[in-house]
Structure 1
Amino acid sequence: MTVVDHGGLMDRVYRHQRHIYDTTRKYYLLGRDPMIAGLNPPPGASVLEIGCGTGRNLVKAARRYPRASFYGIDISREMLETAGRSISGAGLTDRVRLAFADAAGFDPQRVFGRQGFDRIFISYAVSMIPGWQAVMAQAFANLAPGGELHVVDFGDQSGLPRWFRGGLRTWLGWYHVTPRSDLFDVAARLAQAGGGLTSERRLYRDFAWLAVMGRPAAH
């Protein structure tokens, strides 16, 4: 069996693309801003992004929710370098912390000195993570009581023309991206197993899917 160095792969994929990533991706990474708008963390909340990439989402979320603290992890050191510059340029270094970490084995206490987070979000990363179901399970386990896990990614494009779906899947494959057709099912099972609730939104004729999993509040 071939073992893939996922971090090294992501560095190779984005070593040069990271410089134009946000400019080009805004046209098809749809659903990111609706996801950020739905986070709605309470004052003083902690918010983690898994697979923070260039830091684009962290900057937008930190500006939208000035009373929350933000954290970001990524397995690509190349992307983290760009994210650090973005956050510094936005004047948010006092509210956003970054760390190199593999989401599959992420320990919030070791990395950030925290037991958990009030909100965790994953934007267009589960389609690139080989063990994405385990990553979602780990993220759900890292929620504080009453916390929420928000995941947005490519949907099945069932409402779009067949020629479009085929062309998109081929193009995504060049970048090691695989839409997860069972995203909603996995989200529902996670929430149910944890005694919580889930919601789902199908955006732009199923181009993008947004799943939210809630952990029960402490009694």
Structure 2
Amino acid sequence: MERQLISHIAHYDHPIAAPVSEQNLERLLTRAKLAPGARILDLGCGEAPWVLRALELHPEAVADGVDISEHALTAAQKAADQRGLSDRLGLHHVPAADFTGTEPYDLVLCVGSTHAFDGLTATMQDIRRHLRPGGLALVGEGFWETPPTPEALTKLGANLDDYGDLSATVAQAEDAGYATVYGHTSDLAEWHEYEWSWIGTLTNWALDHPGPDGDAALAAARDHRDMWLNGYRDILGFVTLLLRRTD
């Protein structure tokens, strides 16, 4: 099975696709305090849970969502139709780094998708080109909660310098010309809800679809469980930062 389809299935019961609760997602979006008619961009939007909720919270806003997964964008369009938001949301099937908007945005989101730009620094630089002066970025990124062991790095397929600690991560985000105006650090309950949902949803799907695809999905679920439980659990953290562009 292709990786994008596995991810689509695994996130069915947790479409936020990050270790963030619905309550904290809404808190982060509300703190943006967008003006009427705001323009919003979500880079690596997936099934668009963040940008769809932003449109509900800001009924005069318009938005664009960008992702490379056809499965995710199909689900995003369906969700937008069901919630009556499709007339205010444009979806774009292109790599996030290649997207160019027609006008600057008031808020640019990139939550859990900094890999699309090869890391946080490049992400913040790319977001800046989309933002109006004084505009806001909402960025979710991993950080080392505790120093990773060599075994954890091997499980993750990561290097020590892929992330910093929380302080270094905030400084790295700001270095491209931003000031942090709010933030949320995911707690243990959010991590467990996210991980068990990912693993369990994919496992259930695999058991309901015996055959090569089911076998591949079950193997992916077990590999992910092992990577989490015996790898990055209590080592990898996640922070979502609301940052204001400085000029």
Same fold (TM over 0.5): yes
SS in 2 for 1:84: helix
Paired residue total? 190
Query: Following TM superposition, by how much is the alpha carbon of 1:33 offset from its aligned partner in structure 2, in angstroms?
Result: 3.7
**2: CA distance, partners of 1:60 / 1:170:** 36
Structure 2: which amino acid aligns with 1:148? L
Task: Pick the structure with more helix per residue.
Answer: 2
Q: Select between 94-103 and 33-42 the one with higher mean Cα deviation.
A: 33-42
Matching residue within 171, 181, 185 for 1:185:
171
**2: CA distance, partners of 1:102 / 1:28:** 20
SS in 1 for 2:176: helix
Distance 1:202 1:64, change over 3 A: closer
Distance 1:37 1:134, change over 3 A: same
Query: Following TM superposition, by how much is the alpha carbon of 1:197 offset from its aligned partner in structure 2, in angstroms?
Result: 2.5
Does structure 1 residue 76 correspond to structure 2 residue 69?
yes
Q: Assess if the C-alpha contact under 8 Å between 1:201 and 1:209 holds in 2.
A: yes
Query: Following TM superposition, by how much is the alpha carbon of 1:48 offset from its aligned partner in structure 2, in angstroms?
Result: 0.7
Which residues of structure 1 form unaligned runs of 5+? 1-10, 109-113
Query: Following TM superposition, by how much is the alpha carbon of 1:121 offset from its aligned partner in structure 2, in angstroms?
Result: 1.0
Q: Assess if the C-alpha contact under 8 Å between 2:11 and 2:17 holds in 1.
A: no
Normalised to the residue count of structure 2, the TM-score between the two structures is 0.64
* Counterpart residue number, 2:220: none
**Rg larger for:** 2
Structure 2: which amino acid aligns with 1:187? A
**1: CA distance, partners of 2:60 / 2:240:** 24
**1: CA distance, partners of 2:113 / 2:123:** 10
* Counterpart residue number, 2:219: none
Query: Following TM superposition, by how much is the alpha carbon of 1:115 offset from its aligned partner in structure 2, in angstroms?
Result: 2.3
**2: CA distance, partners of 1:78 / 1:95:** 20
Which residues of structure 2 form unaligned runs of 5+? 188-235
SS in 2 for 1:23: coil
**1: CA distance, partners of 2:28 / 2:14:** 19
Q: Assess if the C-alpha contact under 8 Å between 2:16 and 2:49 holds in 1.
A: no
Greater length-normalized contact order (CA 8 Å, ≥ 6 residues apart): 2
Matching residue within 113, 128, 139 for 2:127:
139
**2: CA distance, partners of 1:27 / 1:148:** 21
Q: Assess if the C-alpha contact under 8 Å between 2:139 and 2:240 holds in 1.
A: yes
Over the matched positions of the two proteins, sequence identity in percent amounts to 21
Q: Assess if the C-alpha contact under 8 Å between 2:120 and 2:173 holds in 1.
A: no
Distance 1:216 1:184, change over 3 A: closer
**1: CA distance, partners of 2:36 / 2:16:** 29
